[in-house]
Amino acid sequence: MHSPKITPKFAPEITPSVEELEAQERRLVFRQFTYDDAWTLGSLLVELARDRQAPVAIDIHRAGQQLFHAALPGSTPDNDAWILRKRRVVERYGASSYLVGARFRAKGTTFEESSRLDADAYAAHGGAFPINVENVGVIGTVTVSGLPQLQDHRLVVEALERFLGQ
């Protein structure tokens, strides 16, 4: 006789605080960001996503130019639309799309209710992160779309940590 299979219960994901998200951005800063860096970072994101069979699209922009794009199995053109909307939030606010949304939520509202921006053009959902170069500032974005927003954000942060040797 064998014992019944017990399914483990997983703890819900802990949502990071605004302070934790701000600390990520202070820590994940580049000394420079070249075309080769975009290729290396994008390729690392593709590798991480493939390992997890994540149905994502990945985009890296610098100064208005797309330097890297990949669409993995299961992603759709809708993911590219989300990338654009999330990227616009980073470009406008100079902070990750997840942090921008978290700041609105911390004030008891939502980005959609209070930003006064067109929701068809801007999305403060996780997955877009600023490419911040020390002594220069935000020069671009790295964006993932296809997973729930916190997972999109965490995938980008993991890749940045690995890329920057943290």
Find, among 125, 132, 135, the residue nearest to 104 by Cα.
125
Residue 115: inside a domain: yes
Q: How far apart are CA 109 and CA 102, in angstroms?
A: 10
Q: Is the pLDDT of residue 48 over 60?
A: yes
Q: How far apart are CA 158 and CA 114, in angstroms?
A: 30
User: Residue 121's domain is classified under what CATH number?
Assistant: 3.30.450.150
Residue 5: inside a domain: no
Tell me what percent of the residues of the chain surpass a pLDDT of 70: 92
Residue 88: inside a domain: yes
Range of weakest confidence among 4-13, 14-23, 52-61, 121-130: 4-13
| pLDDT, tens digit, 9 for 90 and up, residues 75-95 | 999 999 999 999 999 999 999
Residue 71: inside a domain: yes
| pLDDT, tens digit, 9 for 90 and up, residues 118-139 | 999 999 999 999 999 999 999 9
Work out the burial of residue 7: count CB atoms within 10 Å of its CB; fewer than 13 is exposed, 13-18 middle, 19 or more buried.
exposed
CB 92, CB 135: distance < 8 Å: no
Confidence of residue 14 (pLDDT cuts 50, 70, 90): confident
CB 58, CB 42: distance < 8 Å: yes
Q: Helices then strands (H, E): number in the chain?
A: 6, 4
pLDDT at 166: 85
Residue 8: inside a domain: no
Give the total number of structural domains in the chain. 1
Q: Is the pLDDT of residue 10 over 70?
A: no
pLDDT at 7: 43
Q: Is the pLDDT of residue 31 over 50?
A: yes
pLDDT at 148: 96
Residue 10: inside a domain: no
Instruction: Note down the domain range covering 89.
Output: 18-163
Find, among 10, 8, 20, 26, the residue nearest to 164 by Cα.
26
pLDDT at 12: 59
Residue 129: inside a domain: yes
Residue 137: inside a domain: yes
CB 126, CB 143: distance < 8 Å: no
For 28, residues 6+ apart whose C-beta sits below 8 A from its C-beta are 129, 132, 157, 160, 161, 164, 166
